[in-house]
A and B are shown apart, each in its own frame.
Chain A
Amino acid sequence: MTRVAVTVNGEPRDADVEPRTLLVYLIRDDFALTGTNVGCDTSSCGSCTVLLDGESVKSCTLLALQADGRSVTTIEGLADGESLHPLQDAFHRNHGLQCGFCTPGMIMAAVSFLRENPSPTEEDIREGLEGNLCRCTGYENIVRSVADAAGSLRSTP
């Protein structure tokens, strides 16, 4: 077993893991943060997306050890107390989900994407979310939610 220490949603956490432990299982099983889902398990669907040092990554295709000493943000780390993150709020208001399974990954991918491109076109948003699959919505309300959130994020410093 190897000790891995990660800052998760601002809190220092550690665990003893086998080297083969994937980051997503460190997050779900060791840290009991089950908002991050495992979907395809082949780095295609994006359900397991978290931020690693602020950038979106697929946590099913990283070893926990690759995150050692680094900062991880999961869906649980976005809201400020009772106050939703602008992307969570936008998905809520625009009905950007149906079953909700893809939603944590979709929102984390969108957080990273809007940091890189704060003023996206609709096409930019669709390309920016190409790493995330949704089998319910047809994407229309997801794209609408991200565009809406981009507006809110731009207007709040």
Chain B
Amino acid sequence: MIPAAFEYTRAEDVDHALEALSADPGAKLLAGGHSLLPLMKLRFARPSMLVDIGRLTELSYVERRDDHITIGALTRHHDLANDPVLQRDCPIVADAASTIGDPQVRHVGTIGGSLAHADPASDLPAVMLALEATFVIRSAGGTERLVPAGEFFKGLFTADLEHTEILTQVRVPVLSGGWSFIKFTRRAQDWALVGVAAVAGPQAVSVALANMGQTPIRARAVEARLAAGDAPAIAALQADQDTAPPSDAFGDAGYRRELAKVLVARALTEALG
């Protein structure tokens, strides 16, 4: 399968990429391309122009700041998985990244590409939700706005990103408590049937679900029960509250609802254990 024809520009820096986006309403950013190119090959996406930001090495980094870690949007899954700062200070990101796709995919796919793609079945969006991460989004003239992960995912494959904006950085907290990332798959390299990210913070436990609706979803009912003093196994029974899981060839919605309860119970045991 070959994508439909398009023009190609290799961005020299972020401002150049923003200019190229502004110049063509049909343009799309190309990072690793591991979400976009498959869509283009199937003609689900047909951009008139690809703006290749894949060489902007200045957007590939992991840096410890005071109480948080900044991650460049073009940091590859392979680099997240092997980064010593993340492994020490926010291991859920390294752990989740190490399970994305397969080694070849992790050598190319990027954190920013995965988040901007906003696939509710993806691993990192749910992890970012549980971490209450912040996304830095840049537009022309160096203007930046900060968007909490909880407000970023708007719908199926839809993120709070304008056509003339680029997600440049992800900020995640330094963790001091327990965490867990669990996904259930039928086969190696499959998308999660259901995925769970749980993070035990100083005040409260946050839980987020992958592939239980049109966006990654916070399991608020579980969090509320935990805050009210319920045991994790009891709280986990609320895992499918306010979700709308899909039915597909791998499992129907009812199966996913039960699976979410089981996986949340396991994740809480791991995060709080």
- Chain A residues within an 8 Å CB radius of B38: 42-43, 61
Contact check, A19 vs B50: say whether CB atoms are below 8 A apart.
yes
B157 at interface, CB cutoff 8 A: no
Q: Which of A51-59, A91-99, A141-149 touches B?
A: A51-59
- Chain A residues within an 8 Å CB radius of B1: 41
B45 at interface, CB cutoff 8 A: no
- Chain B residues within an 8 Å CB radius of A36: none
Q: Which of A6-14, A62-70, A71-79 touches B?
A: A62-70
Total interface residues on A, CB under 8 Å, equals 32
Q: Mark B101-133, 1 if CB is under 8 A from A, else 0.
A: 111110110000000000000000000000000
Contact check, A20 vs B5: say whether CB atoms are below 8 A apart.
yes
- Please measure, in the bound complex, the distance between the C-alpha atom of A119 and the C-alpha atom of B23, giving whole angstroms: 51
- Chain A residues within an 8 Å CB radius of B102: 46, 130-132
B249 at interface, CB cutoff 8 A: no
Contact check, B52 vs A65: say whether CB atoms are below 8 A apart.
yes
A131 to chain B, nearest CB (A): 3
A90 to chain B, nearest CB (A): 19
A33 to chain B, nearest CB (A): 18
Contact check, B2 vs A131: say whether CB atoms are below 8 A apart.
no
Beyond known contacts A43-B104, A65-B10, A130-B103: 13 more, CB 8 A cutoff? A20-B2, A41-B41, A42-B41, A62-B33, A62-B37, A63-B8, A66-B52, A66-B54, A109-B103, A116-B103, A130-B189, A131-B104, A131-B189
